Amino acid sequence: MNTIDSVKDIATKAKATVDANATKAKAAFEANSTKAKAAFEANSTKAKAAFDANASKAKAAVASRKGQIDSAVDKAATFVDTKTKGKFNAQVTKVQDTAKKIVPAE
């Protein structure tokens, strides 16, 4: 075997080793990718459930204080109307009504 054939043989073996390692790396990546996706989906489901539970509690807390919130909105509207001497009464009333509609009833 001459030197050129030896170099070609070494290059062929190196390429085979690189190809084998690339195949192993790809398989490991795909396996870990699948695990990561499954973990993400499980955690996002848990997070959504926790969010929904807390959102329901928050809505209930706000709804239970609707009277207090409406009273505060009325006071703020009266304050602004007084300070502007009624100049923006239509806008103040519109904002006041909208703010009251946002708060859910009990």
Q: What is the mean pLDDT of the chain?
A: 91
User: What is the secondary structure of 52-80 as a DSSP string?
Assistant: HHHHHHHHHHHHHTHHHHHHHHHHHHHHH
Report d(CA 60, CA 54) in Å as an integer: 10
Q: What's this model's pTM, rounded to 2 decimal places?
A: 0.51
Quote the distance between the C-alpha of residue 25 and its chain's center: 32
What is the tens place of the pLDDT at every residue in 21-60? 999 999 999 999 999 999 999 999 999 999 999 998 998 8
How many CB atoms are located within 10 Å of the residue 64 CB?
10
How many CB atoms are located within 10 Å of the residue 106 CB?
10
